[in-house]
Amino acid sequence: MIEVQNLEKKYNGHRAVDRISLSIARGSCFGLLGPNGAGKTTTVEMMENIIPQDSGVILYKGGERDRTFNQEIGIQFQHTELLAFLTVEETLKTFAAFYHKHLPVEEVLAMCMLDNIRKNMNHKISGGQRQRLLLGLALLNDPELLFLDEPSTGLDPQARKHIWEIILDINKKGKTIILTTHYMEEAESLCDTIAIMDKGRIIEQGSPESLIEKHCKADGSPKNLESVFLKLTGKNLRE
């Protein structure tokens, strides 16, 4: 579905993304993990066409990304605000108008459990409701490729569970998902492939099961993704 080759990005001489290559198959749920400052968001934003790469190639469906790319993708950013004085419903309707084809707004409202706050202004909704609205915006055009940058950060367990159900449901429909997260449990539950980044490079890649099998076998550490993550990226604080 999407492939990157030797992708590189520098900020003030610092190499935030260091010649990484990835290939994400259609219909997969790909998790990009890494400590703060590892280069996850920069990598994903280059793939989303939000920021340009310094070098390297990004191929979508085997070719260069063209004007249809933005019609076919959905993005949920980690940090973003919305127009404060629009209601939830108006926000969805406004964004729906940007696409040639889109899901009915009613369906998105129901899917993201936004029905009861549809008339609330954006500046009056809670953090969890905002996160659900942002996910709704990403799903509006029924995207073939969905980018989710830490989709459940700041949510309570119930809301997180609900977001996971939506993501799994979308993935079951054959949509491709690229997900960054700090929650190992989230990656383990949702992703079929995981890449772990550190210092701008991909240091390990595989299915959650294969990574656990490979890294937690010998030393008796708990058999979960968190152990793999800590083993590969170390226990020192970042940033």
Partner 1 sequence: MWALFKARNYEFFRDRAGFGWNILFPFLIVAGFGVIFSSDSGSDYKLGVFPVKENKMVLQDLHLPDKLKIYKHIKIVPFKTRDEALDKLSHHKIDILLENAGPELKYWVNDSNPKGYILEKVVKESIIPEESFAAKVIRQEIKGDQIRYIDWLFPGILGMNIMFSALFGVGYVIVRYRRIGVLKRLKATPVTAFEYLTAQLVSRVLIMLLSSSVVWFGCNFLFSFRMHGSYLDILVVFFSGILCLVSLGLVLACRGTNEELTNGIINFISWPMMFLSEVWFSIEGASDFVKHAAKILPLTHFLSAARKIINDGATLSDVSSEVTILLLMSFVFLFIGSVLFSWTK
80 touches partner 1 by CB under 8 A = yes
Binding test (CB under 8 A) with partner 1, winner from 1, 16, 33, 82 = 82
DSSP string, 79-93: S----TTSBHHHHHH
Of 147, 152, 87, 75, which Cα lies nearest the Cα of 119? 87
Give exposure, 105-135, as e/b (b: 16+ Cβ within 10 Å). Answer: beebbebbbbeebeebbbeebeebbbbbbbb
Residue 184 neighbours by CB under 8 Å, 6+ apart = 33, 224, 225, 226, 229
Q: Please pick, from the candidates 38, 40, 46, 48, the single residue that binds partner 1 as defined by CB under 8 A.
A: 48
75 lies in the binding site for partner 1 (CB under 8 A): yes
Gyration radius (Cα) of the chain, Å: 18
- Amino acid occupying residue 109: L
Distances (CA, A) of 224 to 63, 65, 155, 168: 37, 36, 22, 20
Residue 10 interacts with partner 1 (CB under 8 A): yes or no:
no
Q: Phi and psi dihedrals of 33, rounded to 5?
A: -115, 160
Part in contact with partner 1 (CB under 8 A); list of ranges 87-95, 163-171, 184-192, 228-236: 87-95
173 lies in the site for partner 1, by CB under 8 A? no
Per CB under 8 A, 65 contacts partner 1: no
Q: Which stretch binds partner 1 (CB under 8 A): 28-36, 81-89, 168-176, 205-213?
A: 81-89
Is 57 a residue that touches partner 1 (CB under 8 A)?
Answer: no
Q: Is 73 in the site for partner 1 (CB under 8 A)?
A: yes
85 counts as binding partner 1 under rule CB under 8 A? yes
Determine which residue in the list 30, 60, 77, 183 makes contact with partner 1, applying CB under 8 A.
77
194/229 Cα distance (integer angstroms): 11
Pick between residue 124 and residue 214 the one whose CB is nearest to partner 1: 124
Binding positions for partner 1, rule: CB under 8 A: 48, 50-51, 67, 70-71, 73, 75, 77, 79-86, 90, 93-95, 97-100, 121, 137
